[in-house]
Structure 1
Amino acid sequence: MLIRLLIFATLVLIASCASQPQGEFVRYYEAKTDKPYDDVLAELEVAIAEHNFRITGHSRVGKVIRDRGTPDFPDYDTIQFCNLTHAKILLQMSPHAVKYMPCNVVVYQFEGKTIIKTHLMPTDTDHPELNAFSEKMNETLMKIVDFAAEQ
C-alpha cells in the first residue's frame, strides 16, 4: 500500500512539473528586406498613416544606447500606433482586448537584413465578433509590414 501511494505521489508530482503554464500564444508576422534601415522606417510611417492610424510612440532604442556610449550598437526601433475608432470598437467587444493596444511594429537589423515584425491579434477566441475584427486588423498589420519591406 505504501509503495502504491509513493508511486501515485511521484506520478502526480511529475505531471504537475510537466504541465505548461496557462497563457495565450502570441503570433507574429515578419518581413525581411535589403532596403536601407532609414528607408524602412520612413515607409512604415507612410503605411501607418495610409491605413488611418496615428503614431503614438517611437522608441529609438539602438540610437539611445549609442548615444550613451556604445557607438557600434545596431539600430532597434519600436513604433506604436493606434486608430481610436478601431480601439473603441475593440474595447466595446472585449475590455480585456486592451492588452493588444496600441499596435506595435519593431524594426531591427540581423545578418545583413532589415527585419520588420508585428504581433498579430488572436483569431481563435470564444468571441466570433472579436475573431472577425482581429482577422481584419491582422490583414491591415501585415499590409503595413509588407509595404515597408517592398523593394
Structure 2
Amino acid sequence: MRSGIVAHESITIGDDVWFGQDIYVTDANHGYQDPATPPGLQLGEHEPVVIGEGVWIGHGSTILAGSRIGRHAVIAAGSVVRGEVPDRAIVGGVPARVIREHRPGVGWVRPDGKGEVIPERPTVRPEDLARLADLDEEELRNLG
C-alpha cells in the first residue's frame, strides 16, 4: 500500500476508518502569492483535516487541506476531496461532490431528488437473532 499522510499541524482520523490503497491525506497547501517565486518554494497555509468515524476512503483518493468528512461517509475511488462532506454521504469525482445521501426512514437518495431511492436495510444485531432463534442470555453469550 503506497499511501501517505502529510500532517504539518492537524489531521484527525476517527475510529473504524477504512483506507483503500494509494490514499493521500494532507493538511498543507503551497503558497502562490509571489509570482516571481515558484509555488513549491512558498509557504502555504495549513488547514486541519477531520475524517469522521466509520468513513470508507476508496482507492487512489486524495483528501486535501481543510477537508471535513462526516461520519459513515464513503469517498469513491479516485476522488479529490476539498471542503465539507456530510455525515452518511457518498461522494465521488474531481472535485468530489455528493452522489447519494442517507435520509433516515427513506434510504439513499440523490441530492437532486431524481433517480431511484435505494431503501434502507436494517442492521441485524445479536439480540435480534437471539429473539428469532429463541435463545436465552447465556446461549447468546456463547455465540460470541
TM-score range, shorter chain: under 0.3
Q: Which is strand-richer, 1 or 2?
A: 2
Q: Which is helix-richer, 1 or 2?
A: 1
Bigger CA radius of gyration: 1
Q: Which fold has the larger relative contact order, with Cα–Cα distance below 8 Å and residues 6 or more apart in sequence?
A: 1
